[in-house]
Amino acid sequence: MAAPWAAAPPEEPLAREAALLAVDAALLAGVLMRTQEEPGASQVVSYAPFTLLPSAVPSALFEQAYAVQQDFNLLVDAISQNKEFLERTLASTIKVDDFTARLFRIYTQVLEEGLAQSVFLGINRSDYMFDCGADGTPALKQIEINTIAASFGGLTSRTPAVHRQVLKMLGRTEEASRLLPNNPAQGLALGIAKAWELYGSQSAVVMFLVEEVQRNIFDQRCVENELWNRNIRVIRKRFRDVFEKGSLDDARRLYIDGQEVAVVYYREGYVPQNYDPQNWEARLLLERSRAVKCPDIATQLAGTKKVQQELTRPGTLEKLLPGQAASVARIRATFAGLYSLDLGEEGDKMAAKAIADPDCFVLKPQREGGGNNLYGEELRHVLEKIKDSPERTSYILMDKIKPRPSKNYLLRPHTPLKVSECISELGIFGVYVRQGKELVLNESAGHLLRTKAIEHADGGVAAGVAVLDTPYLV
Ligand code: ADP
Ligand code: MG
């Protein structure tokens, strides 16, 4: 099923007129980003890229994605508390992947010292595509789950208003009224506020750990403003600030600039480029502290591609979520084929299969943020080179999901208007809070639809490939 406008999207001059209206509506609604030219200040801003038209999402799959989110929250939380599972699963990866190894070292170090943190906050986003089966029926397939710095929960709440206006201008008032409201930032802030409250110090602050250059600051401000509205003080700091001014007291309470920090919300720290030796030291200091880290290092490790692949092994989910057969079934239904490339017979077989049929697979390293995966001829080339070396184990292999494309316009500053064949990726935000062993909050918090032209195999909004979208349920 497609959206009614997807078969014949508006043409010139109507398309141009609609795009002008859409861009102004986006600026008014706050679909904002700092510019590439001036990424360090807000004097000059532009709109975050978005689609001219909302894209169709099958309502049954949309509901399925929401229905499984609390299960995924439980699962991630369970993995983060399972040292034996994390150790075994990442053993081969950390031999060859330096970044995962460094995270793992901090994880071990913190456990050896004994956890000071007793309140845990998870904010994740589970991403899916709609795989088109042989008979044309779409199925919900998970691409990955992001357990650190899952973004666009703020800006995505602003696109329904824009798309409503565009549809009205195109004479589709009835369809406009069907676009759902959506506000993940509110849900994320609710989780942060709960963690702050359980930490139990009125004067302590929430610290957003942010990048050196913050183009996507408005998305973060949406969450931040929700906290200010609840009279919770928010500070924004970089790893560098933590290194220079952060300290722990005897009870391992975290202080920066003389302020006690209750919650550290990472919007940075998920790629190797975020770290120099001082930043690694800052990360260790934060992890050792009593402050609620969102995520703690164990939860970051739970979000690695290697963990995702191991979860698909028969029996693994059952062991991680004992006695929760319904959750296990809902989770498993979203899994695509994922394969280990560890050295040995199983890995040899899959490497050969992918080399023979590269268009059926995606080769993924242990990286986040888009633009790292390998496809098609490049996949074949790289696998042929590393197929007999331990380097192979730093990757996993995944079945390629093949959604049905539809036509849309992708609106980006300084980019000519043209129709593209597009595919979409739906993300559901999840939030949970645990105090000791007791889960006190477990919710889904809203959604994000991102759309990209089919000629790009990879890449998110921040990577300049995908754009924000609004689901139109069909
Ligand atoms: P990252 O952590 O870099 O976001 P992802 O696993 O989300 O890694 O992959 C990045 C992008 O690559 C996705 O947004 C999607 O567009 C594409 N992609 C990833 N896995 C698949 C797959 N199995 N089939 C088709 N496309 C995929
Ligand atoms: Mg992704």
Q: How far is CA 454 from the centre of its chain?
A: 20
Within-domain flag for 287? yes
Within-domain flag for 446? yes
Overall domain count for the chain: 1
Among 419, 353, 307, 368, CA closest to 148:
368
Ligand 1 atom closest to the Cα of residue 400 is 24
Among 129, 34, 83, CA closest to 425:
129
pLDDT of residue 460: 78
Catalytic residue among 151, 182, 420, 424: 151
Within-domain flag for 132? yes
pLDDT of residue 429: 99
Ligand 1 atom closest to the Cα of residue 305 is 6
Report field, pTM of the whole predicted structure over 0.85: yes
pLDDT of residue 180: 98
pLDDT of residue 364: 96
Mutate to test the pocket of ligand 1, among 144, 339, 423, 425 (most ligand atoms within 8 A of CB): 144
Compute the distance between CA of residue 250 and CA of residue 259 in angstroms, rounded to an integer: 15
**Mean pLDDT in consecutive groups of 10 residues from the start of the chain, 474 residues:** 88 96 98 96 97 98 98 98 98 96 98 98 98 92 98 98 98 98 98 98 98 96 98 98 98 97 98 97 98 98 98 98 98 98 95 97 93 95 94 96 96 96 98 98 98 87 89 98
Q: Where are the alpha helices (DSSP H) in 249-296?
A: 277-288
**Residue-range definition of the domain harbouring residue 93:** 12-336+401-473
Residues in the chain: 474
13: preceding bond cis by omega (within 30 degrees): yes
The reply to whether 450 belongs to the active site is yes
Ligand 1 atom closest to the Cα of residue 450 is 14
Compute the distance between CA of residue 465 and CA of residue 459 in angstroms, rounded to an integer: 5
Catalytic residue among 125, 172, 290, 306: 125
pLDDT of residue 458: 80
Within-domain flag for 354? no
pLDDT of residue 8: 86
Who lines ligand 1 at CB under 6 A?
Answer: 127, 143-144, 336, 362, 364, 367-370, 372-373, 398, 400-401, 425, 458, 460
Within-domain flag for 370? no
**Ligand 1 center from residue 14 Cα (angstroms):** 34
Catalytic residue among 364, 380, 392, 434: 364
Compute the distance between CA of residue 467 and CA of residue 305 in angstroms, rounded to an integer: 23
Is the CB of residue 146 less than 8 Å from the CB of residue 431? no
Within-domain flag for 353? no
Nearest 5°: phi and psi at 260? -75, 135
The reply to whether 306 belongs to the active site is no
The reply to whether 231 belongs to the active site is no
pLDDT of residue 371: 87
Compute the distance between CA of residue 396 and CA of residue 460 in angstroms, rounded to an integer: 20
Binding-site residue ranges for Mg(2+): 144, 146, 368
> What DSSP line would sit under 36-91, residue for residue?
SSSTT-SSSEEEPPEESS-EEE-HHHHHHHHHTHHHHHHHHHHHHT-HHHHHHHHT
